[in-house]
Structure 1
Amino acid sequence: MIEESKNADAQAKLTPFDYTLSLIGGKWRMKIMYQLASGQVMRYGELKRQLPAITHKMLSFQLKDLESCGIVKREEFPQVPPKVEYSLTPRGRSLMPILEGMCRWGVENQ
C-alpha cells in the first residue's frame, strides 16, 4: 500500500510528456501495443510468435505492467488448459494515433 502511494506521488510529479513516455517508452511496450492493435484479441503464444526476440520473462513482465497501467486488458477463461487473452483497453487504443504517427514519421524519414 505504501509502495502504491509512492508510485502515485511520483506519477503526479511527472509532466504530461514524461507521463506519456512512462506508459509507452521502452524497447517492447510499443511493439506489444502495436501487435494488439492489429490483431484485436491475442493469446500469449500469438504475441510471442509475433515478437520472437522478446524473452518469455520480459513479455510476461511487460504485459503485467501494461495491464496495471490500464493499457492492456487480460481476460482469463476458467478452462483446462487455461486460456488467457490480451487486448488493448479503450485507454490503450487512444494511444494508437501516437504510435501510428511515429510509424509514418519513420517511413517518411528513414
Structure 2
Amino acid sequence: MKEDKKQSIYCPIEYGLQVFGGKWKARVICVLNDKGTLRYNQLREEMPEITDGMLASTLKELMQENIVERKQYGEIPPRVEYSLTPKGESTLPILDIIRKWSMEQFKIEAKGNLEAAQKRLEEAVKADRTSCLANMVIDTDLKNAN
C-alpha cells in the first residue's frame, strides 16, 4: 500500500482490510501457509480461477506490505519463490477467526435455505401436487444451498 493511502486510513480495521482484504490476498496467504514456499506456477496451479495479471498484481501488493517475500535465485533457468514473511504469518490467526465466523454464517444460511425448502414442500403438498414434484422442489433447493 502506498504511503498516502496509509495516511488516509484512520480506522485500524480499515487498514487491516486494506492489507489483506480483497478477493485474492487472503487466498494467496492461505495457500502459502498450507503449501509453504512456492514458485509462481505452483501458486497459480493452486488457484486456477485467478488470471496471471491478477496473481502478479496481488503478489506485488502483498510484497509491498511485507506480507509475502520474493526470493530470486541466480540460476539458469531463473528460479523465483514466494513465501510468507513473519508479518504475513501474523495475519493467520486473524484469517482463522474470519474463517470460523464465515463457516457459522454459512451454516445459518444453509439452515435458512433448508427451512425454505421444507416450507415449499409443505406448500406443494397442500396444493395437491404429486409427491414426485414436491421432492423435486426440495431437491433443487437443497442443491442450491450447497
Asked if Structure 1 and Structure 2 have the same fold, meaning a TM-score greater than 0.5 normalized by the shorter chain, the answer is: yes
Shift of 1:58: 0.6
- Aligned partners of 1:8, 1:57: CA distance in 2, in Å? 23
Alignment-derived partner of residue 48 in structure 1: 44
Mark the runs of 5 or more structure 1 residues left unpaired by the alignment.
none
- Correspondences of 1:10-89 after superposition (within 5 Å): 10-14=5-9, 15-89=11-85
Amino acid at match of 2:66: G
2:92 is the counterpart of 1:96: yes
Structure 1: which 4+ aligned runs deviate by more than 3 Å? none
Deviations 1:71-110 (A, max 9, x none): 0010000111111110010001000001111112222331
Larger radius of gyration: 2
Mark the runs of 5 or more structure 2 residues left unpaired by the alignment.
107-146
Quick check: 15-24 or 100-109, which moved more? Answer: 100-109
Structure with the bigger percentage of helix: 2
TM-score by length of 1: 0.89
- Aligned partners of 1:84, 1:25: CA distance in 2, in Å? 25
TM-score by length of 2: 0.68
Number of aligned residue pairs: 105
Shift of 1:32: 0.4
- Aligned partners of 2:4, 2:55: CA distance in 1, in Å? 27
Alignment-derived partner of residue 3 in structure 2: 8
SS in 2 for 1:87: strand
Amino acid at match of 2:33: A
Aligned-residue sequence identity (percent) comes to 37
The alignment yields a C-alpha RMSD, in angstroms, of 1.4
Shift of 1:12: 2.5
Quick check: 57-66 or 12-21, which moved more? Answer: 12-21
